[in-house]
Amino acid sequence: MILGELRVHGAMFIEKGSVHNFESGRRNKYTRAAMSEKLIHEIIPVGMLQCNCSILGDPGTREAIVVDPGDEVERILEILRRHDLKVRAIVSTHTHIDHVGGLAQLHAATKAPVLIHEGDLELYTHLDMQAQWLGVATPAMMRIQDFVKEGDALRWGGFAASVLHTPGHTPGSISLLVERGGQGEAESWPHSHAHGANEPVHPTAKKPGVTSGEGTRLIAGDTLFQGGIGRTDLWGGSTKDILKSIREKLLTLPDATLVTPGHGANTTIGAERASNPYLR
């Protein structure tokens, strides 16, 4: 089935290729052993449409990013407290209401910058219309000033996420390829107009490269699902674009790459390559 969050039940501009570093403003005091610990990845289905919110944390530095906080922010904060994690960035894979409904509240609680692709900014400004369509109250909104695009990388602790622009479900849909990213020390400097205590630091460093699917995971938003793809019948959707995004950006990844979709169960690139009926 074609999936997506709106389905019936069944400011910081980052230059292309740059690295956005979410360290705490001090030289890293943690050892290589701490950096090599397993990624904390909590997947929390939130809201009436059960969007998969991901908390991705470094167990050594206790730094984290949160992806797609669509609702139930107090629940997200409780899990962050349980792991003693400090949020360095909040990222939305796209701006449908069930993926961004908790953005403003989580930002207010953590002061972490909010990052989206600029292609979805217009969709976010019409959150009230999305709410009306679903018959729910319009969630709190905020001014989004920070954008990511294809080729950017986000770093926190010993991990990094490469940004893949995967339009089709929405014009600004992105996927995040998460892997270890703690190799080496990059020179860094504070952002020139800090928005708050959690304002990230920008280093000059190479974009992480994927050489093996082992230990690599893809946060796919509503682009690719287990046995399905994102729906394309809503504003800005394009079947042609989503299939191109999947074939040219996602199916080029190793078979072992773990995929966490925007809704439902995890899968792998290999499993979807072999059996997803929409990709044959």
The dihedral formed by the CA atoms of 65, 67, 69 and 72, expressed in degrees to the nearest 10: -70
How many Cβ atoms are within 10 Å of 142's Cβ, its own excluded? 14
Contact present, 145 and 116 (Cβ < 8 Å): no
DSSP state of 122: H
Give dist(CA 145, CA 121) in Å, integer: 10
Contact present, 245 and 251 (Cβ < 8 Å): no
Contacts of 263 (CB under 8 A, 6+ apart): 3, 4, 5, 45, 49, 50, 51, 52, 222, 225
Q: Is the pLDDT of residue 255 over 90?
A: yes
Residue 12 or 120, more confident: 120
**Domain ranges in the chain?**
19-279
Q: Domain 19-279 maps to which CATH number in 2.40.240.20, 3.30.420.40, 1.20.58.410, 3.60.15.10?
A: 3.60.15.10
Average pLDDT, the chain: 81
Please give the model's pTM, rounded to 2 decimal places: 0.80
Give dist(CA 170, CA 93) in Å, integer: 10
How many Cβ atoms are within 10 Å of 3's Cβ, its own excluded? 22
Q: Would you say how long the chain is, in residues?
A: 280
Residue 38 or 230, more confident: 230
Query: What is the C-alpha end-to-end distance of the chain, expressed in Å?
Result: 14
Give dist(CA 132, CA 17) in Å, integer: 38
pLDDT band at 20 (very low <50, low <70, confident <90, very high): low
Contact present, 67 and 219 (Cβ < 8 Å): yes
**Average pLDDT in the 187-214 region?**
35
**Residue 223: which of 231, 211, 212 has the closest Cα?**
231
Q: What is the pLDDT of residue 143?
A: 95
**Residue 136: which of 101, 103, 92, 107 has the closest Cα?**
101
Side chain identity, residue 247: R
Q: Is the pLDDT of residue 37 over 70?
A: no
Give dist(CA 185, CA 176) in Å, integer: 22
